[in-house]
Structure formats: C-alpha cells, structure tokens
C-alpha cells in the first residue's frame, strides 16, 4: 500500500530516529501529526503525495521540508515523460515552482529546490536518463550534507553550553525536523553527551504542539532530562532564575539577522532579554536569505483557524469566532546573542558576519 501505512511503536523501535528516507523507489515520511501515540509512515510514490505531506505538516521543520522537496523532485524527474532535454527541463522547472509554493516562510525549501535545478546541466552532452540519475544523486547528497552540517553545528554550539545548564528550547529542532541529529536539539544532544547534568525545558509550542509532542518524545527517547512547560510559563521560570540558556531554530534569517521561526519565538526572545539570558539561534547557512534585508520582508504563513478552535478534534472555541493563526513570527536581531552555524558562531554586527560566512564558507567572523 502506498500511502499511508502504520507501524506499531512497540514493535518498530529503531536505533536511529529519522523523519524521512528512501524506501526503494518511494519516499517514506514519518507522519508527525500522529506522534507520540502512533508511528505512521506515509509511503509517497509521486510528487503530489510529498507536497501533501509538506502542506499538512506530516513532515515539518525547515531542513526536513527542504530534504522532502529534493526527494520529491527526484520522484518527479523519474516520472517526467520527455523525449528531449528541452522538454525535460521545462517540465522539471514547473515542478520546482510547484514545490516552492508549498510553505512560503522556510527558505531551506527554496534553497534545496534551487540546488536540485542546478544539478541539471545546460549543455546537450547528456540524455534524459542521465538527468534523472543526476537529480536523484543530488537529493541523496543534500540529505547526507544536512546530517554533516547538523553534527558540525552541534560540536560548535556545545562549547557555549555552561556545565549543568538549564536550557529552554522551542518548537521541535531535532531529528524529526532535519535529516538527522538536529539543530538546537543537536546542540543539546552533543552537550549532554559530555555533561549529563544539563536539563531541558520544552515549551509546548501552541497551537500545533511540536514541543509537547515531538521535542519531549525525542529527548525522552535519548534519556535527556526534559520538563514540559506551557508557552506562557517561560517568563515565570526565567523570573525564578531557572534558565541559563535559550536555544531555538530558524525557518528564515534575513540579511540583518532578523529571524523568522515558529510563532512564540519572539516572545521568548523578549523574555530572555528582560532576564539577561543568552538567546542563540541554531541554523545552517541554508536558512540565511541575503536577498531579504530585514524581517519585514519575510513572508509569514497563516494556517487553518481550526488549529486554534479545535484541540484533538474537539471544538474548544465558540462557533464563528474570528481567528488569527500565524505560523511564524519575527525575532529582531537585537534580541539575539548569536547564530550557531556549521562554520562557527556569528556575532554582532550580524549583517557583516552573515555576509562573510555566506561568502567565504570557511570559518565565522
């Protein structure tokens, strides 16, 4: 059966948690909407099924949806009917544009799509079969690269984690949001391997509850001490001097350092500033968008009102109440202490540090 199929959690424990992988010629996606109660895998055999998984948040997290888009394009390239290279390129470009429209805020998706299109040579010294092979190889390379980047960020970020740190994190930034290991959770994993006395507070992350459902699930599976708190408890916890560090991920970072991330991140940044707690964003260079000057130019996705008016399928708000449900907010660069990237920690002034990191690719300022 192609989509979906379900596996029982108790009988399918894996040594390594993962969100997406190749299952033969299909893309297997862990349906994160069903976690933590059930492990449901979606076996996607064509582009439309992967797009549906991205749009409905069966797979989410900026790096993970970039990988999903790349793998979707590999499926699409396989299925393109074209006798000549020009027709193949035209149809493939159409698929690229379709993928870019699925989630507008996360720049990793567009970055991955552009990398996939760049894998197609402009010369005529090839054939359609070779183009399909190149596209699949590029998708595989992007997945491997994401894992390596995450591991690099984790090593670099772990150096700033104080011994016995009490860390607040937001949304889900682990294996389920990436190709493996994670961004902010990757830093926590690596730091915990050296210092098992650290503790994590996971905000629930309303309304989709990625923190409550996914972050706690990952950390508990790894044996990392985690306490779940409501989003509006973060300020009280900080006021009691119960937090040493804030680590979050990012969906898009503007040229000046303004950062789009899951709705509620801005609030956490304001609270951290008020209580003089270091606030770091953990993100690969693919999350930086130098074409966007500041946060006001980042498109912010708005989602279905039912995500707020319903909870677990049960209606919890009066019928017809107006709803504003932005999926992301902008944390101004002034609230951020630094960006933990695969090439180092970027510090203020961020505009100059970001330009240098993206241009050189070697070392941070």
- Residue in 207, 218, 354, 212 with CA at minimum distance from that of residue 283: 354
Give the span between the Cα atoms of 149 and 177, in whole angstroms.
14
- Residue in 81, 99, 102 with CA at minimum distance from that of residue 90: 81
Alpha carbon 241 to chain centroid distance?
29
Q: How many helices (H) and strands (E) does the chain have?
A: 12, 16
Rg, the chain, Cα only: 20
Residues 175, 182 contacting (CB under 8 angstroms)? yes
Residues 248, 177 contacting (CB under 8 angstroms)? no
User: 85 — alpha (psi -120 to 50), left (phi > 0) or beta?
Assistant: alpha
Q: Give me the residue label for tokens 């240098």.
A: 356
Torsion, CA 269, CA 270, CA 274, CA 280, rounded to 10: 10
**251 included as an active-site residue:** yes
Q: How many CB atoms lie within 10 A of CB 114?
A: 11
Q: How many CB atoms lie within 10 A of CB 283?
A: 30
Sign of the CA dihedral with 340 first, then 343, 348, and 350 last: negative
Give the span between the Cα atoms of 358 and 286, in whole angstroms.
9
Catalytic residue among 251, 258, 289, 329: 251
- Residue in 137, 24, 136, 143 with CA at minimum distance from that of residue 77: 136
Looking at residue 338, the DSSP 8-state letter turns out to be E
Catalytic residues, which ones? 251
């Amino acid at each position: 059966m192609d989509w979906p199929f379900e596996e029982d959690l108790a009988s399918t424990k894996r040594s390594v948690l993962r969100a997406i992988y190749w299952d033969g010629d299909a893309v297997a996606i862990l349906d994160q909407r069903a976690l933590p109660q059930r492990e449901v895998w979606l076996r996607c055999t064509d582009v439309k099924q992967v797009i549906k998984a991205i749009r409905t948040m069966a797979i989410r997290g900026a790096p993970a949806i970039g990988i999903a888009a790349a793998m979707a394009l590999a499926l699409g390239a396989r299925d393109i009917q074209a006798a000549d290279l020009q027709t193949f390129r035209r149809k493939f470009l159409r698929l690229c544009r379709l993928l870019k429209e699925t989630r507008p805020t996360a720049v990793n998706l567009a970055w991955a799509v552009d990398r996939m299109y760049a894998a197609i040579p402009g010369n005529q010294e090839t054939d359609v079969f070779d183009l399909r092979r190149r596209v699949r190889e590029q998708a595989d390379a992007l997945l491997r690269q994401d894992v390596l980047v995450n591991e690099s960020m984790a090593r670099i970020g772990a150096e700033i984690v104080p011994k016995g740190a009490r860390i607040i994190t937001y949304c889900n930034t682990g294996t389920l949001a990436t190709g493996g290991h994670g961004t902010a959770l990757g830093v926590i994993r690596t730091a915990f391997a050296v210092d098992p006395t650290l503790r994590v507070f996971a905000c629930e992350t309303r309304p989709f509850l990625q923190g409550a459902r996914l972050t706690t699930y990952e950390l508990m599976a790894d044996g990392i001490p985690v306490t779940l708190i409501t989003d509006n408890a973060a300020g009280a916890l900080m006021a009691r001097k119960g937090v040493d560090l804030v680590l979050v991920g990012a969906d898009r970072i503007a040229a000046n350092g303004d950062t789009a991330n899951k709705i509620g991140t801005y609030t956490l940044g304001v609270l951290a500033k008020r209580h003089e707690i270091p606030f770091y964003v953990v993100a690969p260079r693919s999350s930086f968008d130098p074409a966007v000057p500041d946060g006001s130019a980042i498109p912010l996705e708005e989602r279905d009102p039912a995500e707020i008016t319903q909870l677990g399928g049960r209606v919890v708000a009066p019928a017809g109440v107006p709803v504003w449900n932005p999926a992301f907010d902008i944390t101004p660069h002034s609230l951020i202490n630094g960006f933990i990237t695969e090439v180092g920690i970027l510090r203020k002034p961020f505009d100059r540090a970001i330009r240098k990191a993206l241009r050189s690719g070697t070392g941070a300022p």
